[in-house]
Amino acid sequence: MAHPELDTIDRKIIGTLQEDGRRTNVEVADAVGLSPSPCLRRTKRLESEGVIRGYRAILDRKTVGLGLTVFAEIRAEKHSKECAQMYQDALAAMPEVVSCHMVSGQADFLAEIVVPDLQTYERFLTEKLLVLPRVADVRSNFAMREIKSAAPLPLDHLP
């Protein structure tokens, strides 16, 4: 897959929007040293090329009553393309799963699950995860403290 060419101004626009996606186009333009029209054109291009996928509010989990974060390592009994797709579809459809990755190592999938409390997680585990076909093992890792979350991507590594 070809990566879009990103010059210094594009990187500044991306960095500015990662810091605060609610900035107006005029504010972004001022921050990166452009006038508003070319800044808006560049931002729209970055969006249409898929570099900027969207904008959203980042909620404080505890404030909204989602105080427990669990990282579940899920291992399948059988490995096949169909089985992998079934797990991907099932995990993606679960609203409690806020992030999920197919991984290498002991587990096949690593899911970040956010729920109000341990009792809710137990119900989620027994009623949603463990009932998936061909689950060999689920190992739950409970977050004790959030150190870093939803951080901006490092732009200095971009081509």
Confidence band, pLDDT 50/70/90 cuts, at residue 97: very high
pLDDT value of position 11? 94
**What's the average model confidence in pLDDT over 109-133?**
97
pLDDT value of position 155? 84
Mean pLDDT of the chain: 94
Q: What is the pTM of this model?
A: 0.87
Among 14-23, 88-97, 146-155, which stretch is predicted with the lowest mean pLDDT?
Answer: 146-155
C-alpha distances (whole Å) from 61 to each of 11, 31, 65, 90, 134 are: 30, 30, 6, 23, 32
Structural domains of the chain, ranges and CATH numbers in brackets: 8-48 (1.10.10.10), 68-142 (3.30.70.920)
Confidence band, pLDDT 50/70/90 cuts, at residue 150: confident
Q: Is the pLDDT of residue 112 over 90?
A: yes
**What's the average model confidence in pLDDT over 98-127?**
97
Q: What are phi and psi of 121, to 5 degrees?
A: -65, -40
C-alpha distances (whole Å) from 104 to each of 75, 95, 101, 139 are: 10, 24, 10, 15
pLDDT value of position 79? 86
- What pLDDT digit, counting tens, does each position of 16-42 carry? 999 999 999 999 999 999 999 999 999
pLDDT value of position 9? 96
Q: Is the pLDDT of residue 12 over 90?
A: yes
Helix (H) or strand (E) holding 88: helix 81-93
The DSSP line for 102-133 is E-SSS-SEEEEEEESSHHHHHHHIIIIITTST
